[in-house]
Amino acid sequence: MNDSQLLRYSRHVLLPEIGIEGQQKLLDARALIIGAGGLGSPVALFLAASGVGTITLCDDDTVDLTNLQRQIAHRTSGIGKAKVVSAQATLSDINPEVKVIALQERADEARLSQLATEADVVLDCSDNFPTRYALNRVCQLLRKPLVSGAATRFDGQVSVFDFRRDDSPCYQCLYPEQMESEETRCAVLGIFAPLVGIIGSMQAAEALKLLTGIDSTLCGRLLTLNALNMELRTVKLHKDPSCAVCNSSKTD
C-alpha cells in the first residue's frame, strides 16, 4: 500500500483483526454483486469504501423514481439510467481506486457461473427466487463463498454459505426449491427504507470478513431482523442430508 492508501484505510489498519495484511487482501479482492437495488446499494458502497479492488455489478434494471426511497447508490439525476451505470458513478466518486465493472444484463445460470468463477466472494442482492437458487448451485459447484440477503416490508434476513467448508449448508437446505415460494416484491408489499440498508450493511460486513480471513462469519447461521420491533434473532442452520445441491458434488 502507498501512503495515500494507508491514510484512506487507516481505521481498518488499526484493527488487529484486519491490519495492513487484511487491507491488502481487500485491495486484491474481487467481489461479484448480483442486484444493484436496495440491498446491492449499501453492499456496493461499503465494499468500495473499504477498498475491495474489483467490484462487478450485475443488474438489468434502470433507475426509477420509486427506487430512490431506499436504493442509496442512485440519485434523482440517474432516473432512466441503467442501475449498474448509476451505481458505478457513485462508487467511483467514493473511491476512484476501485475498479467497478457494470454489467446491464439479467444473467442466466451459465452466465452466473462465468462471473462467479472470477470472484473471491459472491453477494446475492437479487429479488427473485430463480436467481437465488441458480446462484446457490453455481457457488456450491465452484466452492465460492456466497453472502445471501433478503428484505421485504419490515423483515430481513442474511446468511453466509461458505462452500469452501465441507460442513456449510446451502440456500436450498434452508428453502428447498420444490417448496411453493411466493415472490415478495416490494412493489406489491412495500418496504421500510432503512431495512435494506441494515441488511445490505450486514452482507457487506460478512463479505469483508470472508475476504480478510476472519472466521466469525454467519456460516451455519441465519440472522433475521424485524425492524418494526427492532428484534434480532439467530437460528442455527445444518446441511440437509436430502439436499440435491449439497449431494450433487458427491455423485459427480
For the residues of 167-187, what is the DSSP string, one character each?
T---HHHHS-TTS------HH
pLDDT one-digit tens code per residue, 30-76 = 999 999 999 999 999 999 999 999 999 999 999 999 999 999 999 99
Rounded to whole angstroms, how far apart are CA atoms 210 and 181? 29
DSSP symbols for 74-113: --GGGTTSBHHHHHHHHHHHH-TTSEEEEE-S---HHHHH
* Domain of residue 23, residue span: 3-251
pLDDT recorded at residue 216 = 94
Angle at 149 between CA 146 and CA 155, to 5 degrees: 160
Number of domains present in the structure of the chain: 1
pLDDT recorded at residue 124 = 98
Q: For residues 198-217, b (16+ Cβ closer than 10 Å) or e, as one string?
A: bbbbbbbbbbbbbbbeeeeb
Which cell numbers in the block locate residue 137?
448451485
pTM: 0.94
CB 171 within 8 A of CB 122: no
pLDDT recorded at residue 183 = 55
pLDDT recorded at residue 185 = 61
- Counting beta carbons within 10 angstroms of the beta carbon of residue 153, is it exposed (0 to 12), middle (13 to 18) or buried (19 or more)? middle
Which cell numbers in the block locate residue 66?
420509486
Rounded to whole angstroms, how far apart are CA atoms 252 and 247? 9
Residue 153 Rama label (left phi>0; alpha psi -120 to 50; beta) = left
Rounded to whole angstroms, how far apart are CA atoms 164 and 170? 12
Percent of the chain clearing pLDDT 90 (strictly above): 92
SS3 state of residue 144: coil
pLDDT recorded at residue 247 = 85
pLDDT band, very low/low/confident/very high, at 112 (cuts 50, 70, 90) = very high
pLDDT recorded at residue 177 = 84
> Across-strand partners of 157?
150, 224
pLDDT one-digit tens code per residue, 180-189 = 455 556 667 8
Residue type, 36: A
Query: Does the structure show a pLDDT above 60 at 121?
Result: yes
Among candidate residues 58, 186, 219, 243, the one labeled active-site is: 186
Query: Does the structure show a pLDDT above 50 at 144?
Result: yes
pLDDT band, very low/low/confident/very high, at 21 (cuts 50, 70, 90) = very high
Rounded to whole angstroms, how far apart are CA atoms 5 and 123? 25
pLDDT one-digit tens code per residue, 220-230 = 999 999 999 99
Give the strand pairing for 54-58 and 121-124: unpaired
Mean pLDDT value of segment 11-22: 98
Active-site residue 186, yes or no?
A: yes
The CATH number linked to 141 is 3.40.50.720
CB 112 within 8 A of CB 137: no
Rounded to whole angstroms, how far apart are CA atoms 150 and 186? 11
